[in-house]
Amino acid sequence: MKVGIVNVTGYAGLELARLLQSHPEVELTQVTGRSAVGQRLSDVFPHLTGKDLEILPEIVDPVDLVFSALPHKASAEAVAPLVKAGIRVVDISADFRLRNLDIYEKWYQTKHPAPELLQEAVYGSPELHRDDIMRARLVASPGCYPTSAILGMAPVVHLVEPDIIIDSKSGVSGSGRTLTLTNHYSEVNESCQAYSLGGHRHLPEIVQELSWARERGSDVAGKGSLSVIFVPHLVPMTRGILSTIYCRLAIDVPMSDIRERYRQFYHNAPFVRIVDRPPQTKHVWGSNYCVIYPTLDPRTNRLVVISCIDNLVKGASGQAVQCMNLMAGFDEKLGLEATPIYP
């Protein structure tokens, strides 16, 4: 299958190129970039020496599927004509993740360039929407923070009180390659900072998908709509997200039953692992796995869930390739089974 990458020069685009380079059923035939146009991919990024493509200003030759790794708004502008031309698209930006147009325009402070595609787009979490992804022509690959939070809570969100606190810590690559004062080495090194306390753009995405999962629970216990506090933190490492989620059980459920619910919920999810001790971001580094550890504080009847991912793989490009595999009818795991890198 011939595929292209729009904006290969960002971290997500680079990770896509790396993953697709070894995919047995895919040929990466075209890449575009907002910078480095006209240069060879391997000259700009020597670690990709096996794929000597010219970086183009736009996709020009026929392809079967395109990944868009542009920022929001710019991505929708590039994606809309591709979808209308019959090309399947996996969009890594936020442009098609939110079903509600007003919510998108409120949180992203811009008019949506292609609102007519919002209802068609499928949220690209294979663990929640596998069948829809397989039939889709436009898939919105989830955000990195939402991936860790949603996968961490989805199996039990219908059993808890609707007041949920999510504390997430991310490596610096989550903010992209563009240099700013907040991701400058001297500012980030030996420091940890909370940000977007007034509301992070990934919050409505988390609420949307957890509400969807909650409504489908067979025995919803908590009353009322979800109220989620989400506080992201920047920590001095390159890759990884660790989310710690706090919530109170609405009914008495023994810890053994909670763990069994997680295992049953993800029994057909090859990239989710339920573990018996708190995970570290090093346990998923460079891989498409999400590692989850649920535990119960018996003093407060509060559930604490630790969820770890690599923000550039399961949180972005790896999940996008996983969606592509489903859309193309390939084995979901194809090209993604690399063991995490340690240490």
Q: Residue with structure tokens 């933190």?
A: 233
d(CA 29, CA 8): 12
For 134-167, b/e burial (b = at least 16 CB within 10 A) is bebbbbbbbbbbbbbbbbbbbbbbbbbbbebebb
Q: Name which residue leads in pLDDT, 201 or 35.
A: 201
Closest of 326, 335, 282 to residue 127, by C-alpha: 326
Domain map (residue ranges) of the chain: 2-120, 145-311
pLDDT at 7 over 90: yes
Is the domain 2-120 a CATH 2.30.30.60 member? Answer: no
Supply the pLDDT for residue 299: 87
Residues with catalytic function: 144
Question: Chain-wide mean pLDDT for the chain?
Answer: 95
pLDDT tens for residues 318-336?
999 999 999 999 999 999 9
Q: Which phi and psi angles does 143 have, rounded to 5°?
A: -70, 165
Supply the pLDDT for residue 150: 98
pLDDT tens for residues 108-124?
999 999 999 999 999 99
Structure tokens at 269: 């999810």
- Residue 91 near residue 201 (C-beta atoms within 8 A): no
Is the domain 145-311 a CATH 3.30.360.10 member? Answer: yes
Supply the pLDDT for residue 298: 85
pTM higher than the cut 0.95: yes
- Residue 36 near residue 61 (C-beta atoms within 8 A): no
